[in-house]
Homo-oligomer: A and B are copies of this chain.
């Protein structure tokens, strides 16, 4: 019994993609121009990021699938005016993998991170890639905004809310990102957020461990299959 068929990453194996970074003189049309050259080569951009934005030379990195001709694309990119250097890289998805995001108060975020990092270590030792990211914040609006923004970051699977009182707009944001396919774990706390979460965990370290287990494609753990929702 395996859920692997449902994992979209397995339908688009990461080995097929070309990851490249292009250093170019900063100008407004750079992204449009580079993506046009990739498109002409039949490439499908699955990931893109702009680095050093605002500097004279900026780097735009792409992960491209379905390319017909790697060498030809690299040559054509290199030939564009302003392009300084084109480099092939290992794909970010292969390096940093799936992401857990822990949001909330510093004391509890730190403890959830301890659990999540230790569990991610165990998974990554066996060939997976799971990374653990955090943002320590105070205030209903700030936290709600960060929860919503998590669904606009690449490769995020699980959000953990680590605090002692969260409700109101944060509860609304939790329901929104669950609609978008993220799983949400809440510490057992005051306020309405635990009611809106997929899973409620009392111990902060365990919440981190369970978040990584939920994101893993090798673990037998699936939140949707649990008979209890509060631990």
Contacts and interface: CB of A to CB of B under 8 A. Distances in A.
Interface string A10-49: 0110000000010000001101100110110011111111
Interface string A153-177: 1100000000000000000000000
B131 A135 contact: yes
B121 A117 contact: no
- A contact patch SS: mixed
A92 to B, nearest CB: 6
Interface string A106-149: 11011101100110111011000101111111100000011011
Contact of A134 (B49, B117, B153): B117
A81 B133 CA distance: 36
A69 interface: no
Nearest to A36: B32
Contact of A152 (B21, B39, B131, B145): B21
Interface stretch (A50-58, A71-79, A185-193, A222-230): A50-58
What's the interface size class on A, roughly? 35 or more
A202 interface: no
Contacts of A138: 121, 124-125
B136 A133 contact: no
Nearest to A106: B121
A89 B29 contact: no
A146 B96 contact: yes
A95 interface: yes
What are the nearest 8 A-B pairs in CB distance?
A106-B121, A121-B136, A133-B133, A32-B35, A110-B114, A131-B135, A110-B117, A46-B53
